[in-house]
Amino acid sequence: MPELPEVEVLARHLDPLLRGRTVVDVDIVRPKILLTSSPGALQAALLGARFTRVHRRAKYLLFELETAAGTQCTVLGHLGMTGRMYVQPATAPVPKHAVISMGLGGEIFVFEDTRRFGRFTLDAKCLETLGPEPLEDAFDGARLLAGLRSSRQPVKLRLLDQSVVAGVGNIYASEALFRAGIRPTRRGCRLTLAEAGRLCAAIRSVLGEAVRLGSSLNLDWTGKDAAGGVFYYGAGPGDAVERFMVYDREGLPCVKCGHAIKRIVQAARSSFFCPDCQQ
């Protein structure tokens, strides 16, 4: 489920559920998700620790804890492509693809991830190279343009580079470029300041709207019933919420001009755009 809005909505969901709760049991099912932290080190940090805050940076969930020893500690969670996190009753069966679970006394905090691209780790190195948070004031057209100019890549691929702007993924990159009227194949370093300003505004609006929409919905966090209703909201059966304007709409009419949406492949990933609105 993981781009900035989905991670932000999840952090807001988990914060009140976990804050103040104490970890009484830890089950690390897939130690590969720990990166460089050892299972023993993570176990030691978590066992007896109390959650003090859950928040987000880029696509990472940040779990702030006060350890049993009384020290402050941050655990990073990343959902990869298919990660989910939720709190379930202790009596419910732990899901097939659980990678780690933590007993909270009466309830269990579960991280499940079928493709196992996710992470749950004490290793904070991956935060060091992240670019600006797109929803913060410091992110503007000039800041974005500076990032776009650091290579000759197509602008779509620049947006996926987390050191340029943090939290944009494959779906919202296409959506933002559509809103800004910029073709994904344009070299990022060739954009004008005015175009970068439009793209910056488009990124902020598309991410901001998705956070607001996701926060307003009553989501099924386990996703067991609906066909993936939690992620990229509006996919649920009978749900009339508009989803995307170009992503996954190859051949369908552009919502603005009616021309058929095109799909191209860039760095082995699909990009979608309107050939008329995005010259």
Partner DNA sequence: ATGGCTGTTATCCG
Partner DNA sequence: CCGGATAACAGCCA
Binding site for DNA (CB under 7 A): 1-3, 6, 32, 58-59, 78, 80-82, 96-97, 114-117, 126, 151-154, 157, 160, 162, 169-171, 227-228, 231-232, 267-270
Q: How near is the Cβ of 152 to DNA at its closest, in Å?
A: 4
Rounded distance between C-alpha atoms, residue 257 and residue 273, angstroms: 12
Q: How near is the Cβ of 149 to DNA at its closest, in Å?
A: 11
Asked if 156 and 199 touch (Cβ cutoff 8 Å), the reply is no
Joined tokens for residue 46 = 């978590």
Is residue 3 part of the annotated active site? The answer reads: yes
Q: How near is the Cβ of 166 to DNA at its closest, in Å?
A: 9
Rounded distance between C-alpha atoms, residue 131 and residue 2, angstroms: 17
Is residue 2 part of the annotated active site? The answer reads: yes
Output 104 or 148, the one with its CB closest to DNA: 148
Q: How near is the Cβ of 54 to DNA at its closest, in Å?
A: 18
Residues 246/248/253/259 CA torsion (nearest 10 deg): 60
Is residue 119 part of the annotated active site? The answer reads: no
First to last CA, the chain: 30
Asked if 185 and 170 touch (Cβ cutoff 8 Å), the reply is no
Is residue 269 part of the annotated active site? The answer reads: yes
Q: Please, where are the H alpha helices in 217-259?
A: none
Joined tokens for residue 124 = 């904070």
Output 37 or 170, the one with its CB closest to DNA: 170
Catalytic residue among 56, 57, 59, 198: 59
Output 6 or 23, the one with its CB closest to DNA: 6
- Catalytic residues, which ones? 2-3, 59, 269
